[in-house]
Amino acid sequence: MLKRKFLSVFALSAVLLPGFTFAQTGSSTASATGSVAPATYQAPKEIIDRIKEEGSKNSQVMQTLSYLTDVIGARLTGSPALKRANEWTRDTMTKWGMQNAKLEAWGPFGRGWTLKNFDAQVVAPYNIPLIAYPKAWSPSTRGALTADVVLFNPKTDADYEKYKGKLKDKIVLMSDARPLKVEDKPLSARMTDEELTKMAGAPDPASVQRPQQAAATPEQMQQRMQSFVQGAKRASFLMQEGASVLIDVSRGGSGGTIFVQGATVSQTIPANVTDFAALRRSFVQPQQKEAEAKMIPQMTLAAEHYNRLVRMLNQGENLKMTVNIQAEYSDADPMAYNTVAEIPGSDPKLKDEVVMLGGHMDSWHAGTGATDNAAGVSVAMEAARIIQSLGLKPRRTIRVALWSGEEQGLFGSSNYVTQHFGEMQNAPTRATAAPGTTPTPPTLTKKPDYEKLSAYYNLDNGTGKIRGVYMQGNSAAAPIFRTWLEPFKDMGATTITLSNTGGTDHQSFDKIGLPGFQFIQDGIEYDTRTHHSNQDVFDRIQSDDMKQAATIMAAFVYQTSMMDEKIPRKTIK
């Protein structure tokens, strides 16, 4: 799942402007509320029972997960490890009897990055081993470098003056200590009946004036832009002053859990910026080749260790550290790849139509991307394997898609959707909704296959089992999904919510009006421990939850393939 610092992760459909909203269409039975749903195909109990049995007794989901995480390891987009995962998943699905398994290129994305060697410790006044990880795409240090450690925490523009000429070759701590509070809440909690009931009663998001939908005031926009500009300014200043290594404190977590993402690039900020969105777009991303000259080697430190170093400096101690970051960029191929594979449809009239399922295969690099998102990949593969191994004959073609570049902005799925289905030009986002301006009306350009996709099902909220489905405001599909959840009540999946959820690949479909769904999942340790951290590893995966999710996904995908009609869509009016 994607997490952005400055752009909200809620569904894009939540910010669609007036005059461009998706509404329901369908063609069979009209409900009392006016929404329309086609007749629901319901698989016979015998088939659902076989799916459940295959998913529990012969499950491969944990073997798949272990290979992706333990054997292949972290899968940063552009890296040789992700390419290996692309190829391994392609070959595995072929071995299972699936067809047309292949890699599909998108891009250019940029360069890959692989850590080759890393070591960091305090060496004076005495040795202190440290829990630390380099940030993705950080440049290498020139061998192991030893330097003084200094604290850099300017609060005002005037404060920068105090640091001028004092940072050359220094190892720089980038902020004050982050105070830790006692962990008085459990790291993991399953959704309660109360929470699920509340979700089930949530209104259609299109009917709700969300607070975010109200245009930001000029002051708020200015503030947002300022904080962005300040971050860029700090990086540029440190670059100019010749700091040798940057260290930040893990933004969350404690007890050895560190959250680590991409390196900070020093940016050129034009004077008198007014267009925040344009400014963001102009920023160089760390995976771009040109970023290398604009980055200082950098790493993230565990909070307890970081805080101690800050306190020692504040006590007047002189600290020296030795840091050795050796990483390799891969520039041979700037493209990135999604893996796709199919179970061909069997109905002469419907086999050209497609039901898709998937999750993203790329990860951050400090852990092994287990809950984010080898879990979703393994579950989607397993769902297809269940259908394939039972010899079920789907009427429509079932296509698994394992995305890349999700962590940098849903790139793999959005490029795939553009290549195959269509594109929304001028799609409004929160960042472009500048106050006092009239946005260009969005337009949708469709490809022929736009009419051939029934639905896309995504899993990317960690290891927690499925509790229901987010409908993204598609009320016409709700009765169908409600019927399909019936046989899984005893497995804890009961809830249909009209609400949107964001931050992951179903949005690439939803954005152009195609039915794209993310399942509701229990938040097992996701935000507290694993999501983008060094502890996102196989041991944090709950095997029973994974089996449950694969079984439900298999049943949803199979039944979608068997419907007389496609899943109803939200249409543009």
Cβ 13 to Zn ion shortest distance, Å:
21
**Residue among 1 and 453 whose Cβ is closer to Zn ion:** 1
Query: Which of 456, 453, 440, 437 shows the shortest CA–CA distance to 516?
Result: 456
**Taking contact as CB under 5 A, which single stretch among the options 372-380, 418-426, 534-542, 555-563 is the one that binds Zn ion?**
372-380
DSSP E strand stretches across 505-572: 516-521, 570-572
Q: Among the residues of 242-374, which ranges form H helices?
A: 276-282, 303-314
For the segment 452-481, give every residue that binds Zn ion (CB under 5 A).
none
Cβ 573 to Zn ion shortest distance, Å:
34
How many beta carbons lie within 10 A of that of residue 568, not counting itself?
A: 25
93 binds Zn ion per the rule CB under 5 A: no
**Residue among 372 and 545 whose Cβ is closer to Zn ion:** 372
Query: Which of 513, 440, 497, 500 shows the shortest CA–CA distance to 22?
Result: 513
**Taking contact as CB under 5 A, which single stretch among the options 48-56, 138-146, 369-377, 475-483 is the one that binds Zn ion?**
369-377
**Residue among 370 and 496 whose Cβ is closer to Zn ion:** 370
Cβ 335 to Zn ion shortest distance, Å:
21
**Residue among 187 and 269 whose Cβ is closer to Zn ion:** 187
**Taking contact as CB under 5 A, which single stretch among the options 184-192, 328-336, 342-350, 366-374 is the one that binds Zn ion?**
366-374
With CB under 5 A as the rule, give the number of residues binding Zn ion.
Answer: 2
How many beta carbons lie within 10 A of that of residue 11, not counting itself?
A: 24
For the segment 532-561, give every residue that binds Zn ion (CB under 5 A).
none
**Residue among 241 and 372 whose Cβ is closer to Zn ion:** 372
Residue with tokens 């272990």: 66
**Taking contact as CB under 5 A, which single stretch among the options 1-9, 44-52, 190-198, 344-352 is the one that binds Zn ion?**
1-9
Query: Which of 104, 112, 82, 8 shows the shortest CA–CA distance to 412?
Result: 104
Cβ 461 to Zn ion shortest distance, Å:
10
Distance between CA atoms of 463 and 176, rounded to whole angstroms?
34
522 binds Zn ion per the rule CB under 5 A: no
**Residue among 152 and 259 whose Cβ is closer to Zn ion:** 259
Instruction: Report the DSSP pairing between strands 132-134 and 145-151.
Output: unpaired
**Residue among 75 and 90 whose Cβ is closer to Zn ion:** 75
Question: Dihedral through CA 27, CA 33, CA 34, CA 36, nearest 10?
Answer: -10
**Taking contact as CB under 5 A, which single stretch among the options 9-17, 135-143, 327-335, 367-375 is the one that binds Zn ion?**
367-375
Cβ 286 to Zn ion shortest distance, Å:
16
**Residue among 4 and 281 whose Cβ is closer to Zn ion:** 4
Cβ 114 to Zn ion shortest distance, Å:
19
Distance between CA atoms of 294 and 321, rounded to whole angstroms?
23
Cβ atoms of residues 215 and 221 within 8 Å: no
How many beta carbons lie within 10 A of that of residue 331, not counting itself?
A: 11
b (16+ CB within 10 A) / e for 263-280: bbbbbeeeeeeeebeebe
505 binds Zn ion per the rule CB under 5 A: no
**Residue among 480 and 546 whose Cβ is closer to Zn ion:** 546
Cβ 231 to Zn ion shortest distance, Å:
20
**Residue among 204 and 372 whose Cβ is closer to Zn ion:** 372
Task: Name residues whose C-beta falls within 8 Å of residue 376's C-beta, 6 or more positions apart in sequence.
Answer: 358, 359, 360, 458, 459, 460
Cβ 101 to Zn ion shortest distance, Å:
25
**Taking contact as CB under 5 A, which single stretch among the options 72-80, 89-97, 365-373, 505-513 is the one that binds Zn ion?**
365-373
**Residue among 371 and 494 whose Cβ is closer to Zn ion:** 371
Give Cα 472 distance to the centre of its chain.
17
Residue 478 amino acid letter: A
Cβ 504 to Zn ion shortest distance, Å:
8
**Radius of gyration, CA atoms only, the chain:** 25
How many beta carbons lie within 10 A of that of residue 76, not counting itself?
A: 25
Task: Name residues whose C-beta falls within 8 Å of residue 105's C-beta, 6 or more positions apart in sequence.
Answer: 335, 336, 337
**Residue among 54 and 372 whose Cβ is closer to Zn ion:** 372
372 binds Zn ion per the rule CB under 5 A: yes
1 binds Zn ion per the rule CB under 5 A: yes
**Taking contact as CB under 5 A, which single stretch among the options 70-78, 130-138, 230-238, 364-372 is the one that binds Zn ion?**
364-372
Cβ 403 to Zn ion shortest distance, Å:
11
Q: How far is CA 264 from CA 22, 54, 139, 169, 358, in A?
A: 37, 46, 11, 18, 30
Backbone angles phi, psi at 97, to 5 degrees: 100, 5
* Residues that bind Zn ion in the complex, under the rule CB under 5 A: 1, 372
